[in-house]
Amino acid sequence: MQVDISLASPFLGTLQEGGDRLCSMIQLSQQAIEAMLERGYDRWMVMYSGGKDSTAALVLCIEVLKKHNILPEALYCDTGVEIPTLHEFALSFLQLVGVRQLAKAKILRPAPEDSFWVQVIGKGYPPPHQGFRWCTHRLKIKPVESYLSALDPLERERTLVVTGVRFGESDARDTRLRLSCSRGGECGQGVWYEQSQRLRIGYFSPIVIWRECEVWDFLTLIAPSWGYPTRDLTSVYKGRETRFGCWTCSVVSQDRTMQKIVQGEERWKPLLEFRNWLVEFARTPDNRVRKPNGQLGRLTLKARATILVRLREVEQKIQQSILSEIGYNCILQLWGDPRYSDSYDGG
């Protein structure tokens, strides 16, 4: 299958050898998508975050699948704590592909009891850190698995979940990819594929060996020539080295992404200030309940009440709701639950 790059050829000419490799990568990815179709997958779900990799994967799938009259689903997990600028881009992009009938957007959300603020303010969980990274499973993995589990078992057999996972993103991700391959996954021929033994659903990445520069060149040169507004991501990222997470992310010591965004858009400064305050506040021993073994446990009720007050102040500053009414009611219920009190007696 040949990739149509005629409209972008003047730009690719300036890339010299890099342009030839990018063309090869696009063709390889398109051939891999065709190969997945030949395996019998006719329901495609693209995990979409609004970031560069998932955007590239979504565009590639749309362009191949529309030739087969297959409308993929773009699954966007709205955690409630997405970085605002990326959240805005993601929703606008989903609206565009939806209006053009190129993909069907499906927005997933964590259950209210699993949401970030209910976990922190309601249950007293300290902000995530390397030793207790509770956020990813509750905010992103569970909503997606819940959606996939609801599918008819026979439908799952022909369902393929597409991701933008790539080698070289991080050591941890490289390790997981290699482990997948050692357990029956396939990462040869420039793609990655495996089938979930539990859900019987296929998982696939068409860009697993793409380099970061190739993803960016695709989004700034090729995809726009096909009619996609992906050049806008450059301004969202504030530089190619930026890595996106949640604006509340406390796993990293310093949130350099939010620092860049705040430099360009002052309106989001209260979010960064609140995130930095929350990390230090949660580390203070007086704000934590002591476990029977003397170690620091959950946040005290007083500390949680303080966080709630500060969060409401941030909402006023940015003139935007952060904590939903449902989430607030969940918090009030949890504050009256003995299991989440300031005592560890049976809790």
Domain assignment present for residue 180? The answer is yes
How far is it, in rounded angstroms, from Cα 175 to Cα 178? 5
Domain total for the chain? 1
Q: What is the pTM of this model?
A: 0.86
pLDDT value of residue 19 = 67
How far is it, in rounded angstroms, from Cα 244 to Cα 52? 10
pLDDT value of residue 254 = 66
Chain centre distance of CA 146: 16
Torsion angles phi and psi, residue 108, rounded to 5: -105, 150
Q: CATH code at 107?
A: 3.40.50.620
Structural domain that includes position 52: 6-112+140-237
How far is it, in rounded angstroms, from Cα 347 to Cα 332? 17
Domain assignment present for residue 316? The answer is no
Q: How far is CA 67 from CA 34, 104, 220, 328, in A?
A: 10, 16, 23, 47
Domain assignment present for residue 221? The answer is yes
pLDDT value of residue 13 = 47
What letters, b where the CB count within 10 A reaches 16 and e where it falls short, cover 269-305?
Answer: bbbbebbeebbebbeeeebbbeeeeeeebbbbbebbe
pLDDT digit string (tens) for the chain, length 347 residues: 444 444 444 444 444 455 678 999 999 999 999 999 999 999 999 999 999 999 999 999 999 999 999 999 999 999 999 989 999 999 999 999 999 999 999 999 999 999 999 999 999 999 988 778 888 899 999 999 999 999 998 888 899 999 998 865 544 444 444 444 444 333 333 344 566 677 888 999 999 889 999 999 999 999 999 999 999 888 888 766 666 678 898 877 666 777 878 777 888 999 999 999 999 999 999 999 999 888 999 999 999 999 999 999 999 999 999 999 999 999 999 999 999 999 876 44
Domain assignment present for residue 153? The answer is yes
Domain assignment present for residue 108? The answer is yes
How far is it, in rounded angstroms, from Cα 158 to Cα 150? 14
Domain assignment present for residue 182? The answer is yes
Domain assignment present for residue 256? The answer is no
Domain assignment present for residue 70? The answer is yes
